[in-house]
A and B are shown apart, each in its own frame.
Chain A
């Protein structure tokens, strides 16, 4: 095992463990904090793949902005473990069935997704560097890129309209 393998396993354990904690912790604020740790672990994976730009943007956008807003809302609504309403038992049953269906779909989809002999480019790949990513976005994928920015713009206008009401 070399260093990057050790790092890979440590980061994977961190990501999976904290992702499970997001689901099972009772207090919503704790869930958000565990989710932030998950994002850090995923950013660590990006850096292992030499995609430093993606890693840091993941942190700035998700951990730095979106999660702060989540935390904002949860803190203002004062959701606590005690005030959490008891779920209907039919709702729980429906949840179990839906989860089982998702598992089946995932198994069916992943069965064929096996790619043999393809190894992640640890520390050598360069598509995640800012120069290559910018080139790819503004040459090969310029139309989807612009369309998604128009989507963001319309979402922003929509938020302003809702806020004005």
Chain B
């Protein structure tokens, strides 16, 4: 009986464990340096110098920031719910990290004679999984804001939650249009189709635009950072938080930014495909090809992250009714039209362009 219990493919578990640890540490490292580059880019746009004290070009600034956050006194308000107060930032962080499980980070690599897929889980509902985890992210904000027992935090949390729910709808509708074209929810298959032919953004430019706007809103980034509107809500849903719990909330935002850039690159911009090069002709390169493909993905992601920051330091924040109007009266009808037109074209094409 016990031998059956232990009948696990040990190498499989080790392989996935290594992959998970690698991907989690890469996303944490990238989120860390996003904070640095955000400040550098802000400085560049505003004609300042930015952080330049810690190390050459201020390159050690994220470490100094992290150390500062860990050293600060941890305060839990007396009247708040202790358990939920701590659970809030943990959930925010957890939801931010979990999306990376279904992303294909590169082609196959060969380690000690064992073929290894650079994807943690190649499930056949990949996109829906991403969508499900994104919809879990709202609990971190809501629980944290409520458990703080502070009216401003609660208001900000409710704002954040309603914003995320509202923008999930056009995001889902634009994804439906994309899925009609690909005919598969598997992330690896979507990337594979794009490697063989054109990128999805050429077929779905409007869908990509809607997805981009919704990604900004889902990450609570400017111009949609209403939950953190300092002039209306003091500090936002994390007002009562201090030390590393505050750091978790801020950090989760940067991880979300990274992951949503990865999702956009994967769904619309060919994922790990090297642009203008036929990947199949480089098959002899083995592991180096996978490394190059990973590099291509990260360059695409870096461009998106730069876009996030560029927009943040260029466009001012929306008013709350403008935000809701844009979501419900602008983006949802637009994405519905996009979906219907796509469906009609797909149907016509499968009928051989006959009515």
**Real binding pair:** yes
**Footprint of B on A, CB under 8 Å?**
1-3, 6, 29, 33, 36, 52-53, 56-57, 59-60, 63-65, 68-69, 71-72, 75-76, 129-130
Q: Check A56–B4 contact: CB distance below 8 A.
A: no
Check if B306 is an interface residue, CB within 8 A of chain A.
no
Q: Check B154–A68 contact: CB distance below 8 A.
A: no
Q: Check B142–A6 contact: CB distance below 8 A.
A: no
Which secondary structure dominates where chain B touches chain A?
helix
Chain A residues in 8 Å Cβ range of B161: 68, 71-72
Known pairs A72-B161, A75-B157. 14 more at Cβ < 8 A? A3-B7, A29-B146, A52-B124, A59-B135, A60-B132, A63-B136, A64-B135, A68-B138, A68-B139, A71-B161, A72-B158, A75-B146, A75-B158, A130-B125
Check if B131 is an interface residue, CB within 8 A of chain A.
yes
Chain B residues in 8 Å Cβ range of A1: 1, 4-5
Identify which of residues 136-186 in chain B touch chain A, using a CB-to-CB cut-off of 8 Å. Answer: 136, 138-139, 142-143, 146, 154, 157-158, 161-162, 165, 168, 185
A42 to B7 Cα, complex, angstroms: 25
A2 to B8 Cα, complex, angstroms: 10
Chain A residues in 8 Å Cβ range of B125: 52-53, 56, 130
Identify which of residues 1-21 in chain B touch chain A, using a CB-to-CB cut-off of 8 Å. Answer: 1, 4-5, 7-8
Chain B residues in 8 Å Cβ range of A68: 135, 138-139, 142, 161, 165
Q: Check A56–B142 contact: CB distance below 8 A.
A: no
With contact pairs A72-B158, A75-B142 given, residues A56 and B5 touching in the complex (Cβ less than 8 Å): no
Which secondary structure dominates where chain A touches chain B?
helix
Top 5 closest A-B pairs, CB basis?
A64-B135, A59-B132, A56-B128, A60-B132, A52-B125
* Distance of B310 from chain A, by nearest CB (Å): 30
Q: Check B135–A3 contact: CB distance below 8 A.
A: no
Contact of A64 among B124, B132, B143, B146 (CB under 8 A): B132
A39 to B151 Cα, complex, angstroms: 29
* Distance of A25 from chain B, by nearest CB (Å): 12
With contact pairs A53-B128, A72-B161, A75-B154 given, residues A130 and B185 touching in the complex (Cβ less than 8 Å): yes
Chain A residues in 8 Å Cβ range of B124: 52, 129-130
Check if B318 is an interface residue, CB within 8 A of chain A.
no
Q: Check A52–B123 contact: CB distance below 8 A.
A: yes
Q: Check A56–B158 contact: CB distance below 8 A.
A: no
Q: Check A56–B7 contact: CB distance below 8 A.
A: no
Chain A residues in 8 Å Cβ range of B135: 59-60, 63-65, 68
Identify which of residues 119-137 in chain B touch chain A, using a CB-to-CB cut-off of 8 Å. Answer: 123-125, 128-129, 131-132, 135-136
29 A-B pairs with CB atoms under 8 Å apart are A1-B1, A1-B4, A2-B4, A2-B7, A3-B7, A6-B5, A29-B146, A52-B123, A52-B124, A53-B128, A56-B128, A56-B129, A57-B128, A60-B132, A60-B135, A63-B136, A64-B136, A68-B139, A68-B142, A68-B161, A69-B165, A71-B161, A72-B161, A75-B142, A75-B154, A75-B157, A75-B158, A129-B124, A130-B125
